[in-house]
A and B are shown apart, each in its own frame.
Chain A
């Protein structure tokens, strides 16, 4: 721990006053914030914002894990736009968030019927409805935007952003260029950050994927598993997979006759039409089951029993946002030793090495062809499953925690260690 810098009280007061006159209240406030950390009067304060924090989601879990990894270094506050408690978040994601606070920043201009305040619905040219979040960001030493919400202008001394996918081109107020570092979850996302935002992202931080170890071979069944939400628009392609499986069993009974397919996934209360269409296909084949909203324990049971994993999300989609940006369930399945056969798009090439840890295919025909190969060859399944489990270990929570701490320790070291140099710079400029 470096000794606190020698600072003259009168000099500091003079600089704060001059800064306020020249650059406004926030600049002066930020200098005091930094002085407090550098001089050791308190721990740094970190605010992590997610406009969908009140909803269960992979991106939200990612943010909560990031907060959990940093709570021993900073006073962490989760900033939400709708009511939520740390207790609910801990229950959803199985995390320890003790010591973490939640602050709800209301957005009066976006409290409409939508499930979440949606930056996509902001019309360029109208007053920015996210200004209250921007104001809140200024009370922290570090502000982390975990929303890809490009309309939030950060006011903290350090502003970092996590981009899970750039959903829109810059339009109207766009502040993503003011975040440093700009973290991203996959190279696929990084490429679209360059193309859509014209920005060079700073560092990849794969989502943490838990699971495993692989089950012993004797416990595995002739079971193909798919885990994905039943989206109303069918973007996860369960219908195509169900039809492909029916065809597989009809045309190749000698290979596929004793295999089963389970399509597991979340769906809203009351279900939706797409899920019911998939169930209609399943009703005609006893080897095909649709399981909705299974518990975490049931899901682990399925992962431990299954041998193959299907995932066709992104097949046939023209919108790059409809491909998996990373593909957490695929990585999770690999950690349990399942062999993935996935659509060759989005973040899949970063997870599945074609022919080495699974297969990447362009659609249903390739899915059937590779599945037949694997059904016919027990040794191939064993080999690819073992290789996949080994490579997927790099997505684990321990690795995520280590990388998060590396990134933020470096930021904090510069923040605290560079304080004297910052004072000198201000003396020269003001």
Chain B
């Protein structure tokens, strides 16, 4: 390799290294990060509104049996599923996998409830979500029990 090319490569690397972004830098990642921030902020706002910033309320919403009553009727359907997601997130921040499992079970209960009672041509999507939740619950239950994947 010629010396000019070697020094050009070294110079290009030096310039790029000096200018290395601290985090996600390209257009795609920046866009994804922006979307996540928006969702995060929205979640915080909605959670605050729905929960009245009271952790006790969160706990009250997490019965061990997903069929036990939760205040579904008081919420618009669109928000019921969001609520479950935010509850999961909150619990991840404040506690361990047992709470996360409970949150998943709650979301599973809500999703099942919605599928059974609402016929809006979105049953497939809900069925898929329920199947995914069941798998996540099974996986997490094993983790909670201290049982990792086989093999």
Tell me whether A325 and B151 are in contact (CB under 8 A). Answer: yes
- Number of CB contacts from chain A to chain B under 8 A: 153
In the complex, chain B residues whose CB is within 8 Å of the CB of A13 = 8, 12
**Which of A4, A321, A327 contacts B149, CB < 8 Å?**
A321
Contact with A along B122-151 (1 / 0, CB 8 A): 000000100110011011101101111111
Contact with B along A120-138 (1 / 0, CB 8 A): 1101111110010011000
Tell me whether B88 and A123 are in contact (CB under 8 A). Answer: yes
Stretch at the interface among B17-25, B60-68, B108-116: B17-25
Tell me whether B150 and A233 are in contact (CB under 8 A). Answer: no
**Nearest CB to that of B147 among chain A residues?**
A233
Q: What size tier do the contact residues of chain A reach?
A: 35 or more
Tell me whether A168 and B151 are in contact (CB under 8 A). Answer: no
Contact with B along A7-32 (1 / 0, CB 8 A): 10110110010000001111111001
Tell me whether A171 and B13 are in contact (CB under 8 A). Answer: no
- Considering the chains assembled together, what is the distance between the CA atoms of A185 and B151 in angstroms? 10
Tell me whether A39 and B16 are in contact (CB under 8 A). Answer: no
In the complex, chain B residues whose CB is within 8 Å of the CB of A168 = 132, 135-136, 139
In the complex, chain B residues whose CB is within 8 Å of the CB of A272 = 146
Query: Closest Cβ of chain B: how far from A395's Cβ, in Å?
Result: 14
Q: Does A88 contact B (CB under 8 A)?
A: no
Query: How many residues belonging to B are interface residues under a CB distance threshold of 8 Å?
Result: 51
In the complex, chain A residues whose CB is within 8 Å of the CB of B6 = 39, 41
Q: Does A307 contact B (CB under 8 A)?
A: no
Q: Does A232 contact B (CB under 8 A)?
A: yes
Tell me whether A41 and B135 are in contact (CB under 8 A). Answer: no
Tell me whether A41 and B9 are in contact (CB under 8 A). Answer: yes
Could you tell me which residues of chain A, from 78 to 129, have a CB within 8 Å of some CB in chain B? 112-114, 118, 120-121, 123-128
Tell me whether A123 and B13 are in contact (CB under 8 A). Answer: no
Tell me whether A325 and B150 are in contact (CB under 8 A). Answer: yes
**Which of A10, A36, A321, A326 contacts B139, CB < 8 Å?**
A321
- Considering the chains assembled together, what is the distance between the CA atoms of A9 and B2 in angstroms? 9
Q: Does B70 contact A (CB under 8 A)?
A: no
In the complex, chain A residues whose CB is within 8 Å of the CB of B143 = 118, 120
- Considering the chains assembled together, what is the distance between the CA atoms of A86 and B25 in angstroms? 32
Tell me whether A40 and B149 are in contact (CB under 8 A). Answer: no
Tell me whether B131 and A169 are in contact (CB under 8 A). Answer: yes
Q: Does B55 contact A (CB under 8 A)?
A: no
**Nearest CB to that of A32 among chain B residues?**
B12
In the complex, chain A residues whose CB is within 8 Å of the CB of B9 = 12, 32, 35-36, 39, 41
- Considering the chains assembled together, what is the distance between the CA atoms of A185 and B150 in angstroms? 13
Q: Does A323 contact B (CB under 8 A)?
A: yes
Q: Does A328 contact B (CB under 8 A)?
A: yes
- Considering the chains assembled together, what is the distance between the CA atoms of A4 and B92 in angstroms? 53
| 19 new A-B contacts at CB < 8 Å, known A13-B8, A125-B39, A328-B151 | A13-B12, A16-B12, A24-B28, A25-B16, A25-B26, A113-B96, A114-B96, A120-B140, A125-B36, A125-B85, A126-B43, A164-B149, A164-B151, A167-B149, A168-B135, A169-B135, A233-B145, A319-B139, A327-B151
Residues of B whose CB lies within 8 Å of any CB of A are 1-2, 4-6, 8-9, 12-13, 16, 19-21, 23-29, 32-33, 36-37, 39-40, 43, 85, 88-89, 92, 96-97, 100, 128, 131-132, 135-136, 138-140, 142-143, 145-151
